[in-house]
Chain A
Amino acid sequence: MTQAASTSQESADQPRALWGCLVEFETVEELLAGAEKVRDAGYTKWDCHTPFPVHGLNDAMGIRPTRLPWLVFGAGVTGAAVGLALQYWTNAVDYPLVISGKPLFSLPANIPVIFELTILFAAITAFVGMLALNNLPQWYHALFHQPRFRRVTADRFMISVEARDPKFDPAETRALLESLGGSDVELVED
C-alpha cells in the first residue's frame, strides 16, 4: 500500500508523457466536417469516438476496410474440413460402426455436423477476430483519464490525435483541432 502510494507520488512529481490531443463536438455534422479536415491535414494516428457507428465517417476519416471477412471465410472452410475429417476418421476409419447395414461414410448423413462446425468456427473467428484486431480487451487507456471522455458513450462526438503521429506537434495540432469548431480542446497525458 505504502509502496503503491510512493510510486504514484513519484509519477505525480515527474512530468507525464503527452498522449495526444482531444476535441469535442455535439453533432454528427460537426464531427464529419472536422474529421475530413484532420484527414486532409495528413494525420494517420488519430481516431473519432462516437456513441454509435456514424455512417459516412469511414470515408471522412479515409480508413480502409478490415480484413476480418477473409479471416472468417478461412475459419468457415477450416470448420467444414474439420467436420468432414472428424466424422470420416472416427466412424469409418478408427472405429468403423455398422449401423443398420448402412455405409460407414455417407455424405448426406454427415452434412448437419459439417454445417454446424462451419458456422461455429466462422462465428468464433468473427467475434474473437473483431476483439483481437481492435486490441480489445484493453482496460487501460490514456483517454479514460479524461472526465469529459465519459460522455462519448452517451451523446458526444470526439476526435483524438495521438502524440506518436509523425505530424503531431502540441501547439500546431491543438490549433488545428481548435479550428474545427468543436469545444474544449485539451492535451491528454498518458
Chain B
Amino acid sequence: MTTLPAHKMLLDTTHEDPTRRAPLVLGDHDFGSVTETVCRIVERPKPPRAWYVAFAVSVSLTGVLVGLILYLFVTGVGVWGVNNPVGWGWAIVNFVFWVGIGHAGTLISAILFLFRQKWRTGINRFAEAMTIFAVICAGVWPGIHVGRAWLAYWLAPYPNQMQVWPNFRSPLVWDAVAVGTYFLVSLMFWYMGMIPDLATIRDRAVTRIRQMVYGLLALGWRGSNRQWLRYERAYLLLAALATPLVLSVHSVVSFDFAVAQLPGWHTTIFPPYFVAGAIFSGFAMVMTLAIPARQFFGLKDIITMRHLENIAKIILVTGSMVGYGYGLEFFIAWYSGNSYESFAFLNRALGPYAWAYWIMVTCNVAVPQLFWFRKCRTNVWVLLGACILVNVGMWFERFVIVVSSLSSDFLPSSWGYFSPTAVDIMMLVGSFGLFFTLFLLFLRYIPMVAMAEVKSVMPQALMEGTGHRPLGDYWGDMPHPEQRHKAVDAEARS
C-alpha cells in the first residue's frame, strides 16, 4: 500500500487504511458548529438565487403535470399512447421507476442502521425525504392509470352496497397494500427521525411564527434521556420492520409482472432482480441529489467524499447484480426450451425495441464499471454524470420490460408497436417537477442532515480522552484536530 503524507491522509478520508478508522465528520466541528452548519440553511432569510430558479422551474412542471392529469380525466386514457396490445404504457413504467427510486432511502435509513454503518448519518435524512417524495410521484400513476380514477377507492376492502370485496389473490391488490404500507412506514420513520432536529430549530427560532410551527411539529421534545431510551428502541424496531418491508415492496411490484403468463414476465428471478435494480437506481438518485446539495449548502464536512465513494461502491455492486440478472434471463429463456420465452428475449435485444434495450444495458451495466476506479469514485463530475445515466438506464429497463413483452406476445397477428404521445412525455417530465418541488421545499424548511445522529457519532460524544469508548474508536490513532492543523500549516509553509 502506498503511504500518503500524514496531512493528506487526514483530509482525504477516501484513502483506505485498515489500521485507521476514518472520521465521519471532517473539519474541527463540535456539537455547536454542527448545529449551526445545518440550521443556518433553513434559518437564512432567503435561499440562494439558484433555489428560486430551480423552484420556479419545478413548480411550472408540476403545473404541467396537474393540467395534463385534468386533461386525461376529462378526455380519457386515449390521450396516452396506450392501445392494444400495449395497455400498460408509460404510466406503469413511471410507477415502477419512481417506486424503485424510493428504495435507496429506506436502505440507507433502515438496513445500513441495522448493519451499524455509521456513515449513513450524514445522508439518511434527505435519502428518506427522497423516498417519501418518490413514492408520492409513484402513487400518482396507478391512480390515474385505472381509467376511471374516481373509482380507485374500489381497491380498498370496505363494506359496500355491491356486496363484493377486492380479490386478495390478485397481485394488483397486493401492490396497493404493499405500496400503501411502504409509504406510511417511510413517513413515520422519517418524521420520527426529525423530531429531535425540529426541536433544535424550535429552540433556535427568533420569530414567534417559526417557534410555533416548529414547536407544534417537534411535539414538545425535551431531549430527555427517558424519552431517548424509548425513542431509540422505537427507531431500532422501525428499522427492523422497514428492512423486510423494503425488500417486499419491489418484490410485490415485480409480482405484477411475474404472476402474469406473458413471455418475458413470467420468471422467478424477477423479485430479487427488481429489488437490486431499485436499490441501484435509488442510490444513483441519492448521489444526483447529494452532490449539488453539499456543494450549494456548504455541507462538505458532513457529507464527505467518503460518503459519495461509499455510494459509488454500492452502485457498482447493485449494478453488477442487475447485469447478472440480464444475463440470467437470457440463459433461462434458452435453457427452458420454451420458444415463446426464447423469442421474447431475442426480440428485446434484436427486435423493434433493441435501441431501448441497448441504452439500458449500456447505462446500467457498462457505466457503473467506471466505479472500479478510485479516480472515478472521487470525481464529482464523473459521479454525477454516471448516476444520471444510471437513472436513464433504469427508466429504460422498466420500459423494455413493460412494453416489449406486451407488444409481441404469443400471436404475431396481434403484435403492435408502442409510441408515446406528447402527453406521455410531458407527464413524465412533470413528475420530475413534482419530485423536485417537494425536495426543494424540504431543503428550505427541514434540516437536511440528521443533526442528532451526526452528533452521536462524533468523537466528543464518545468520551474522547477518558479512555472510555463504548461505541468504537472513531479517531483511531489519527492525530487530534490540533495536530492536523500543525500538519496542514507545515504543508502550507513548505
How many A residues touch B, CB cutoff 8 Å? Answer: 67
B479 interface residue (CB < 8 Å to A): no
How many B residues touch A, CB cutoff 8 Å? Answer: 70
Query: If the complex has contacts A51-B452, A90-B165, A115-B248, are A153 and B223 also in contact, measured as CB distance less than 8 A?
Result: yes
B379 interface residue (CB < 8 Å to A): no
CA distance A126 to B226 in the complex (A): 16
Q: Which residues of B contact A136 (CB under 8 A)?
A: 219-221, 227
Q: Which residues of A contact B188 (CB under 8 A)?
A: 123-124, 126-127
Inter-chain contact A130/B230, CB cutoff 8 Å: yes
Query: If the complex has contacts A48-B224, A49-B223, A54-B461, are A155 and B231 also in contact, measured as CB distance less than 8 A?
Result: no
Query: If the complex has contacts A130-B231, A130-B234, are A154 and B456 also in contact, measured as CB distance less than 8 A?
Result: no
A83-125, CB < 8 A from B:
86-87, 90-91, 94-95, 97, 99, 102, 106, 109-110, 112-113, 115-117, 119-120, 122-124
Q: Which residues of A contact B455 (CB under 8 A)?
A: 51-52
CA distance A94 to B216 in the complex (A): 45
Q: Which residues of B contact A56 (CB under 8 A)?
A: 463, 468, 470
Q: Give the contact stretch, choosing among A9-17, A137-145, A177-185.
A: A137-145
CA distance A58 to B168 in the complex (A): 46
Which of A52, A87, A124 contacts B168, CB < 8 Å? A87
Inter-chain contact A63/B32, CB cutoff 8 Å: no
A77 interface residue (CB < 8 Å to B): no
Inter-chain contact B167/A51, CB cutoff 8 Å: no
Inter-chain contact A140/B167, CB cutoff 8 Å: no
Q: Give the contact stretch, choosing among B69-77, B198-206, B314-322, B365-373.
A: B198-206
B351 interface residue (CB < 8 Å to A): no
A188 CB, min distance to chain B CBs, angstroms? 12
CA distance A90 to B231 in the complex (A): 38
Interface of A is mostly: helix
Q: Which residues of A contact B456 (CB under 8 A)?
A: 52-55
CA distance A135 to B65 in the complex (A): 42
Query: What string of 1s and 0s marks CB contacts (under 8 Å) between A160-180 and chain B?
Result: 000000000000000000000
Inter-chain contact B35/A154, CB cutoff 8 Å: yes
A72 interface residue (CB < 8 Å to B): yes
Q: Which residues of B contact A113 (CB under 8 A)?
A: 168, 173-174, 177
Q: Which residues of A contact B229 (CB under 8 A)?
A: 58, 63, 65-66
CA distance A143 to B223 in the complex (A): 11
Nearest residue (CB) in A for B244 is A119
Q: Which residues of A contact B166 (CB under 8 A)?
A: 90
Interface of B is mostly: helix
B8 interface residue (CB < 8 Å to A): no
Q: Which residues of B contact A91 (CB under 8 A)?
A: 165, 167-169
Q: Which residues of B contact A48 (CB under 8 A)?
A: 224-225
Q: Give the contact stretch, choosing among B79-87, B92-100, B133-141, B178-186.
A: B178-186
Q: Which residues of A contact B231 (CB under 8 A)?
A: 53, 130, 134
Q: Which residues of B contact A149 (CB under 8 A)?
A: 203, 222
Q: Which residues of B contact A112 (CB under 8 A)?
A: 171, 174, 177-178, 248, 252, 255
A147 CB, min distance to chain B CBs, angstroms? 10
A186 interface residue (CB < 8 Å to B): no
Inter-chain contact B204/A49, CB cutoff 8 Å: no
Inter-chain contact A139/B216, CB cutoff 8 Å: yes
Nearest residue (CB) in B for A76 is B241
Which of B32, B203, B238, B248 contacts A123, CB < 8 Å? B238
Inter-chain contact A61/B225, CB cutoff 8 Å: yes
B237 interface residue (CB < 8 Å to A): yes
B53 interface residue (CB < 8 Å to A): no
Query: If the complex has contacts A112-B248, A117-B177, A154-B35, are A139 and B226 also in contact, measured as CB distance less than 8 A?
Result: no
CA distance A97 to B241 in the complex (A): 32
Q: Which residues of B contact A74 (CB under 8 A)?
A: none
Q: Which residues of A contact B167 (CB under 8 A)?
A: 91, 97, 99
CA distance A79 to B490 in the complex (A): 63
Which of B32, B169, B199, B219 contacts A99, CB < 8 Å? B169
CA distance A63 to B165 in the complex (A): 49
B215 interface residue (CB < 8 Å to A): yes
Inter-chain contact B225/A49, CB cutoff 8 Å: yes
Inter-chain contact B244/A52, CB cutoff 8 Å: no
A96 CB, min distance to chain B CBs, angstroms? 10
B301 interface residue (CB < 8 Å to A): no
Q: Which residues of A contact B473 (CB under 8 A)?
A: none
B339 interface residue (CB < 8 Å to A): no
Inter-chain contact A127/B35, CB cutoff 8 Å: no
Inter-chain contact A153/B220, CB cutoff 8 Å: no
Q: Which residues of A contact B199 (CB under 8 A)?
A: 153
Inter-chain contact B181/A120, CB cutoff 8 Å: yes
Give me 4 other A-B pairs in contact (C-beta within 8 A), A54-B461, A95-B165, A154-B35 excluded: A27-B460, A86-B168, A91-B168, A95-B163
29 A-B pairs whose Cβ atoms sit less than 8 Å apart in the complex = A28-B463, A29-B468, A47-B224, A53-B228, A53-B231, A54-B225, A55-B456, A57-B225, A57-B228, A63-B229, A66-B229, A68-B233, A91-B169, A110-B169, A112-B171, A113-B173, A115-B248, A116-B177, A119-B181, A119-B245, A126-B234, A134-B230, A139-B216, A144-B222, A150-B204, A152-B223, A154-B32, A154-B204, A155-B30
A contacts, CB < 8 Å to B: 27-29, 32, 47-58, 61, 63, 65-66, 68-69, 72, 86-87, 90-91, 94-95, 97, 99, 102, 106, 109-110, 112-113, 115-117, 119-120, 122-124, 126-127, 129-131, 133-134, 136-141, 143-144, 149-155
B contacts, CB < 8 Å to A: 30-32, 35, 157, 163-171, 173-174, 177-178, 181, 184-185, 188-189, 192, 196, 199-200, 202-204, 215-216, 219-234, 237-238, 241-242, 244-245, 248, 252, 255, 451-453, 455-456, 460-463, 466, 468, 470-471
